[in-house]
Structure 1
Amino acid sequence: MTTQKKPDLSRRTFLTTSAAIGAAGLASPALAQAIDPYTGQALVGAGGGATPDAGVVQYDSQQDSRRNISSFRMQDWQPYFTNLTNGAVLVDLTSRALHYWGEDGQTYRLFPTSVPVSPELTRTGRTEIIKKVEGPTWAPTPSMKKANPEWPDFVPAGDPLNPMGTHALWLSWQYYRIHGTHDTRKIGRKSSNGCIGLYNEHIQELFALTNVGTQVLLL
């Protein structure tokens, strides 16, 4: 049996590869969906899998294949929050949807999301937004870097392969974010290591609506 050696990706090689694949993707979406720019390997899972997000994991091909459409519906805030001070965000991990209610009691938004890939990587409970970043940079967590030393130490804001997308909301839990993604195939799937992903258009809207101190519940 031949053991396949992981490619040696320096930061320069990673960024060069990212740019090349990004450019190729404009002309050939199939090519862009077939290669993981972090490893140079073929993606796994239905539809070619998904490029890594802030959790840096691939699409779980063993997950429940049911879509979230049937349970993707409006919710009331009262069963989940005692008030709407600073607004409220509910992330429903089952339906893979994010609900936002404004402090005025009138503003409501419902967005599809990506969710953690496994129970071990899933965190639930109450937290809040502690920081808002437009144009976030990305760096692997220590555990990610230890497991994948070939990954780059840093990906700048604006890079099309930046797994944080265009905007990010820091939660009080370490390494947990609500953020955008350039890989739209991830939305509606179990495809993260703990973060909650939204389409870039949706995270931009949510970013404008929320504040530092907005309460968040994941269940």
Structure 2
Amino acid sequence: MFVFDRRRRRGSAGHHRDRRARSRPALSRRPGRGAGARAGLCRSAPDPRPIGAASAGPRLCRAVAGAAAAPGDGARRAAGGSRRLWRRLHRIARHRPDAGAAGAPARRRPRRGRGHVQRQIDPVFLRAEVDYAGAERAGTIVIDSSNKFLYLVQGGGRALRYGIGVGRPGFTWAGVKTISRKAEWPDWTPPGEMLARRPDLPRHMDGGPANPLGARAMYLGSSLYRIHGTNEPYTIGQNVSSGCIRMMNDDVVDLYDRVHVGTKVVVR
């Protein structure tokens, strides 16, 4: 009986202890550390760096180990511990300026140099009714190229003023023209001179929001010049065109409805 009992105890308790020992993952301890900061936990925990703390170092390791070793007595405490852990990880990552997502490229500052175009419209170029002291008759369009304004004379010493974009250096001009044709959402066919300078341009583009002529166009005499809208409103107030007069789409629609074919246009 004694031998039988001994075997029974060895075959039951000892056998199960061996099975539990074999199935339990080995956790290596760091010398001089308590159970709450096992090196195995730090090494086996998922790498927290992709969330934005690529170089947070031992602080993240200690945070993961401390959260894993914290006692949890229910789903509520476990959920609260997880939230506190992630808040701590993100707080550590946020306060490290050199910590970024693993493999993410560094953020670059926008380069500003020659040819940079300001992306905001100066409020001075918004449409307004102003005093006007010129001698032109009411209904005349006067273009002040140097100051980037177009005036529609109203009479009585008043005029509607619009902000415009004008020709680049070498493409400015002056003279007197008349509106020979008007078009809504005009097609665009670049002239041969422009294609020679810019062979990458399309040979023809149908009218629409992506068309450089914008919502309206008023053609000046038999020349290649037009007063037209634009799909680049941030160029208003700039020397950017090949000689045409650019307006914001809302402004060119307003002017289009106020003038007619035969209107005199004075360009200074």
Scaled by the length of structure 1, what TM-score is found?
A: 0.62
Instruction: Name the residue aligned to 1:218.
Output: 267
- Shift in alpha-carbon separation, 1:136–1:208, aligned structure 2, 3 A: same
Q: Rg bigger for which structure?
A: 2
- Which of 196, 201, 226 is 1:177 aligned to? 226
The equivalences for 1:108-187 within 5 A come to 108-118=159-169, 120-158=170-208, 160-187=209-236
- Shift in alpha-carbon separation, 1:135–1:184, aligned structure 2, 3 A: same
Q: Distance in 1 between matches of 2:118 and 2:149?
A: 23
What is the DSSP-based 3-state SS (H/G/I as helix, E as strand, rest coil) of the residue aligned with 1:111? strand
Q: Distance in 2 between matches of 1:168 and 1:201?
A: 12
Instruction: Name the residue aligned to 1:96.
Output: 148
The equivalences for 1:68-87 within 5 A come to 69=124, 74-78=131-135, 81=136, 83-84=137-138, 87=139
Conservation of the 8 A alpha-carbon contact between 1:115 and 1:196 = yes
> What's the RMSD between the two structures over aligned residues?
3.1
Q: Distance in 2 between matches of 1:161 and 1:143?
A: 22
Q: Distance in 1 between matches of 2:116 and 2:244?
A: 21
Q: Distance in 2 between matches of 1:105 and 1:215?
A: 18
Scaled by the length of structure 2, what TM-score is found?
A: 0.51
> Which runs of 5 or more structure 2 residues have no equivalent in the other structure?
1-110
Deviation of 1:44 (Å): 6.2
Q: Distance in 1 between matches of 2:163 and 2:179?
A: 19
Conservation of the 8 A alpha-carbon contact between 2:132 and 2:157 = no
Q: Quick one: which amino acid aligns to residue 160 of structure 2?
A: R
Indicate the structure whose relative CO is greater, using CA pairs within 8 Å and at least 6 residues apart: 1
> Which runs of 5 or more structure 1 residues have no equivalent in the other structure?
1-33, 35-42, 50-66
How many positions carry a matched residue from both structures?
154
Deviation of 1:177 (Å): 0.3
Conservation of the 8 A alpha-carbon contact between 2:228 and 2:252 = yes
